[in-house]
Structure formats: structure tokens, C-alpha cells
Amino acid sequence: MPSRFAEALALSPRLSSLVESVWIGTLDFEVFGDSQLGPTSSSVARILALAPNLRHLALPSEYFPRLITPYRMPPIEHLTITDDLFPLSTPKIPSLYTIHVYGPLWPTRTEIVISHCPNLKHVFCTIPYSSQTTYVTPAAQCTQALQARIQSLASIEFACSKRVAIPLKRTLVDCFDHERKIEIVVNTRNPEQISPGEAWFRERTQAEGQRQLSGPKLRNTS
């Protein structure tokens, strides 16, 4: 549970300094069935304050701290979160380069991304398999707003059912900004794919393996 992990970090500065990636929630990216949102959110705030090297954070929106000050926010680079995102009271996250939203990204939520993530490069949106084609228009609106107002943005990627993917691809063609040349991708997914948690842990394991293979970078001292 988050509270126990926070206690462990508080007792070990060494452990706190080693934490780079944290997943909070079930493997299906839902809140724990026996947890209370308030205390859990407080534990998450404590984890953020105690883990200065945290770079990859994944948690349901319900667990994101309601109140957090800038000096207690680590330089997170990759945030995986459900579609309610984080509160407006959250300070800007200039270190954030990638956000992965599980759930439909709506125009009102897109405004939160734009206002809080000025240096964002990549947006991933995993749309529920049960979503209908009526989501195509909001998705296009979000795409247009993101590429028009986040100058650092390099790519926007949607993963959805084939039912949604076909009309979404057609609609997004008209959203492409030929001057910005932002990569816009639509991938299909099926209900039998692995859970969000399994996908996240696999991705982090692969990234860590690649980092170890590349080894430390040599500095030129000449």
C-alpha cells in the first residue's frame, strides 16, 4: 500500500534516492478496493516529497494529491494517469515530457495539459475498447489544441478499437499541421491485450535493460 511505501522511504534516505519509477493502483489501473482516497492521496504526496529522483509515475487520477507545492514535486518526466488527470491546483510540471492518459482525453482536460505541461513532447491516449465513434470529434479537437498551443510537442498517439480507429484516422488527416509536422498516430487495440500495469512494467524493464546495456557515458576531458 502507498502508506507503507511512504514509511519505508521516510526511514531510508538511501532507498528514497534510488526510486525512479512508481506504479500505484491495481494492474488494471484502478484504485485499491479497500483504500480510502483521502489518506491514499496524502501518502502519494509524501512519496513525491521523499523521492527526489522520481522520473516515472503512474497512478489513477483519484490518487493524485489535491494540494502539492512546487518544491515537493520531483522532476517527473513520464506521467501515466487516468482521464480526470490532476487538479488545477497542481503546480506546473516543466520536467514532464510524456503523458499517457488511460481513458478519453476531452477538450476540458486538454486545457489542463496545456496549462501545466509547457515542455511536453509526447501525448499518448489509450481509449477504452468500449468507446463509440462519437469520441472522434472530441479527439480531433484535442489534437488541434495540443499541436497549436504546445510548441515543444513532437507526437500525439491514440490507441483504440478498430471501430473508432477507422473514422479517427480519416478525421485526423485534416488536423495535420504541415508547418509543425507533429507525428499523429492511431493504433488499434483489442480487449485481449495485456493490462495497463503489465504493459507499464514491461516498458520500464525494457528501458532499464537498454540503459544498463548502453553503460555509463564517457566524458571527454581533453
Percentage of the chain modeled with pLDDT above 90: 69
pLDDT digits (tens, 9 = 90+) for 101-149: 999 989 999 999 999 999 999 999 999 888 888 899 999 999 999 999 9
Q: Which amino acid is at 181?
A: K
Do the domain assignments include residue 26? yes
Residue 202 counted as domain residue: yes
Does pLDDT of 221 surpass 50? no
| Domain residue limits at 62 | 21-31+55-213
Contact (CB, 8 A) for 48 and 41: no
Residue 37 lies in a domain: no
Q: What is the mean pLDDT of residues 1-14?
A: 91
Domain-located, residue 46:
no
The pTM score is 0.90
Q: Give tens-digit pLDDT for 76-90.
A: 999 999 999 999 989
Distance CA 209, CA 203 (A): 10
Q: Is residue 7 part of a domain?
A: no
Going by pLDDT thresholds of 50, 70 and 90, the confidence category of residue 217 is low
Q: What value, to the nearest 5°, has the Cα angle with vertex 51 and ends 48 and 56?
A: 75
Answer whether 160's CB lies under 8 Å from 191's CB. no
Domain count, the chain: 1
Question: Is 14 inside a domain boundary?
Answer: no
Please check whether residue 66 lies inside any domain of the structure: yes
**Tens digits of residue pLDDT in 180-207:** 889 999 999 887 778 999 999 999 998 8
Q: Closest Cα partner for 73 from 83, 84, 87?
A: 87
Residue 220 inside a domain? The answer is no
Average pLDDT for residues 1-22, to the nearest whole number? Answer: 92
CATH of the domain at 82: 3.80.10
